[in-house]
Amino acid sequence: MRAFVEAFGPGRRVLVVLAAAFAGLLASAAPGATLVCGPINANTTWDLAGSPYKLTCDVHVLSGAILTIDPGVTVEFNPGTTLVVQDGRLVAEGGFAGVITFKSFDSTNKGNGVRVSVPTGATASIKQADLMDLNFAVQLMCCGVPNAGPPVVIENCTFSNNIYGVQGYSGGTQSQWVTIDDSIFVGNIYAIDSADKFVSDCSFYSNTNAIFNVERMTIQDCIFQANDTAISTPGNGYQVEVLRCSITNNNNGIVRAPVVRRCTITGNNVGVLMSIQVPVECNDIHSNNVANLQIQGSVSLNVGNNWWGTTSTSAIDAGIIDGFDQTGLGFAQYSPVLTGPWNTTSTCMCTTPSVTTQPVSQTVYNGQTVTFTVAASFVGAPTYQWRRNGVNLPLWSPRFGFSNAASLTINPVAKPGSEPNWTDAGTYDCVITNVCGSTTSNGAALTVNICGADFDQNSTVDVSDIFAFLAAWFAGCP
């Protein structure tokens, strides 16, 4: 493991290793394990003095309770036991006092790990932790996300020798996906599976399946090396994007390809296996051992705008397995061909959007119209997504129109209570994304005042407001 840490150079990972060593010295002085079992129904802290904490049966974190696990603590799981975040919250965040360790008491008869129940509103924050030798290091029980944000946040963690690293899915919109950032996965059978996850800046080494059979997932700026399969989908590519990843020296690089852009796919036995038409473009796909690209199924597929290590059609053909090589397969249509690596060609070069004009806070009366506008500089066309209070607006609605343009117009603005559990008042921002990355504008506050002249509050000021005022006055309304 230290070799992997050193490969990334100085920084957070080295500090974590040193902290872990320091914590290990402290833990060795502990007189014995603290045995834990049963429900937690009040705020509880597992501190270093009581470490290691050994689960002798399932532990359930119940409604309203927060289980805090301090830096340097070790949590051991007896065979088959689970730390269940039922409808409470788990905060397990290591630091300079040491990483937090979750592991099986007996690595040959594994404990289960951490389970988060999404339907009941459970949440977990797991940072600077090592999770090892478990059946399900982190498992999500679906479905439905009553919380505004992700049910689980994982940062700066190491998952090693688990059956499943992060397993299960949450349901919900992208703002409610599990986030996994800056973490290492090594030696797992299934490092990450299923759906509803945002995976960034992670490294995957020597897993059987690094990212397995996934839907509804964004995987960006990650490294995949020496896995049996780096990334696979069920074949529908449903809402899966692979962006700016290095996929090298695996048995299979990408199986049943989803959207793949700005990736380096080299040195694998098979680089890309592709079964449906999805964008696979602006990648470097070459120097794979058996095939750079293998078509699966009878449909011919377009894979233009990639760099194949050469512009020679005969050399490109030699690296592709399709209908020319096997009867019944479709054909790969790879023209136009990039003339060099994607980041050197004008076709594929891009820059992360940078906001040049921020949306402006405004105060309006109900029934009026308001427009928020954002502008950005970029290379590579972006998409826009407006949000209210951090939640994506629907793609289209009668009053908001389309939420995927540089300007958002609300017409008419709704007053508080005009719709069930709704007011247009709030903070609006815009997420601007292209294949090189995304940026979020500043938030602009919308304040909605009720128009005094609109006495009957029907969003129109007319003579009926005069009669409504007089009726209220004669009735003695103060």
Q: Is 141 a residue whose pLDDT tops 60?
A: yes
Q: Is 413 a residue whose pLDDT tops 80?
A: yes
Mean pLDDT of 276-298: 95
Residue 87 domain boundaries: 2-227
Does residue 376 form part of some domain? yes
Q: Is 23 a residue whose pLDDT tops 70?
A: no
Among 180-194, 264-278, 335-349, the least confident range: 335-349
pLDDT at 18: 37
Q: What is the pLDDT of residues 44-93, one digit of tens each?
A: 999 999 999 999 999 999 998 999 999 999 999 999 999 999 999 999 99
Mean pLDDT of 161-183: 90
Q: Is 28 a residue whose pLDDT tops 60?
A: no
User: DSSP letters along 34-103, please?
Assistant: EEEEEEE-S-EEE-GGGPSEEEEEEEEE-TT-EEEE-TT-EEEE-TT-EEEE-SSEEEEE-BTTB-EEEE
Instruction: Label each residue of 391-448 as H, E or C.
Output: EECCCEECCCEECCCCEEEECCCCCCCCECCECCCEEEEEEEEECCEEEECCCEEEEE
Of the three residues 227, 257, 274, the one that is the final residue of a domain is: 227
pLDDT at 459: 62
Q: Is 369 a residue whose pLDDT tops 90?
A: yes
Q: Is 16 a residue whose pLDDT tops 60?
A: no
Q: Is 247 a residue whose pLDDT tops 60?
A: yes
Mean pLDDT of 403-413: 92
Pick the most confident of 335-344, 414-423, 447-456.
335-344
pLDDT at 274: 95
Mean pLDDT of 469-474: 67
Give yes or no for a contact between 191 and 215, defined as CB atoms under 8 angstroms apart: no
pLDDT at 93: 96
Among 154-163, 267-276, 345-354, 364-373, the least confident range: 345-354
Among 139-148, 182-191, 376-385, the least confident range: 139-148
Give yes or no for a contact between 226 and 205, defined as CB atoms under 8 angstroms apart: yes
Of the three residues 173, 192, 227, the one that is the final residue of a domain is: 227
Does residue 305 form part of some domain? no
Output the pTM of the full model: 0.72
Give the separation between CA 35 and CA 450, rounded to whole angstroms.
59
The overall average pLDDT reported for the chain is 87
Task: Please tell me whether residues 62 and 201 are part of one structural domain.
Answer: yes
Q: What is the pLDDT of residues 220-231, one digit of tens each?
A: 999 999 999 999
Task: Please tell me whether residues 208 and 356 are part of one structural domain.
Answer: no
Q: What is the pLDDT of residues 112-132, one digit of tens each?
A: 999 999 888 899 999 999 999
Give yes or no for a contact between 62 and 89, defined as CB atoms under 8 angstroms apart: no
Q: Is 237 a residue whose pLDDT tops 70?
A: no
Give yes or no for a contact between 82 and 75, defined as CB atoms under 8 angstroms apart: no
Among 3-7, 158-162, 342-346, 463-467, the least confident range: 3-7
Query: 147 pLDDT band (50/70/90 cuts)?
Result: low
Does residue 234 form part of some domain? no
Give the separation between CA 267 and CA 247, rounded to whole angstroms.
8
Q: Is 331 a residue whose pLDDT tops 70?
A: yes
**Continuous segment of H or E residues that includes residue 324:** none
Of the three residues 175, 206, 227, the one that is the final residue of a domain is: 227
Does residue 465 form part of some domain? no
Does residue 42 form part of some domain? yes
Give yes or no for a contact between 392 and 173, defined as CB atoms under 8 angstroms apart: yes
pLDDT at 377: 92
Q: What is the pLDDT of residues 43-53, one digit of tens each?
A: 999 999 999 99
Q: Is 27 a residue whose pLDDT tops 60?
A: no
Q: What's the Cα-to-Cα distance from 372 to each of 91, 359, 419, rounded to whole Å?
A: 37, 5, 22
Q: Is 25 a residue whose pLDDT tops 60?
A: no
Does residue 129 form part of some domain? yes
Q: Is 454 a residue whose pLDDT tops 70?
A: no
Retrieve residue 33's tokens.
Answer: 């394990």
Instruction: Tell whether omega for the bond before 37 is within 30 degrees of 0, i.e. cis.
Output: no
User: Chain-centre distance of CA 44, in angstroms?
Assistant: 29
pLDDT at 30: 44
Give the separation between CA 105 and CA 76, rounded to whole angstroms.
5
Q: Is 21 a residue whose pLDDT tops 80?
A: no
Does residue 103 form part of some domain? yes
- Map residue 2 onto helix, strand or coil: helix
- Map residue 28 onto helix, strand or coil: helix
pLDDT at 453: 67
410: domain CATH number is 2.60.40.10
Give the separation between CA 86 and CA 38, rounded to whole angstroms.
12
Give yes or no for a contact between 231 and 255, defined as CB atoms under 8 angstroms apart: yes
The backbone torsions φ and ψ at residue 237, rounded to the nearest 5 degrees and listed phi first, read: 60, 25
Q: Is 139 a residue whose pLDDT tops 80?
A: yes
Does residue 303 form part of some domain? no
* Residues 6 or more apart in contact with residue 387 via CB below 8 angstroms: 175, 393, 428, 429, 430, 431
Q: Is 347 a residue whose pLDDT tops 90?
A: no
Q: What's the Cα-to-Cα distance from 160 to each of 18, 134, 188, 191, 256, rounded to whole Å?
A: 18, 9, 6, 9, 26
Number of domains in the chain: 2
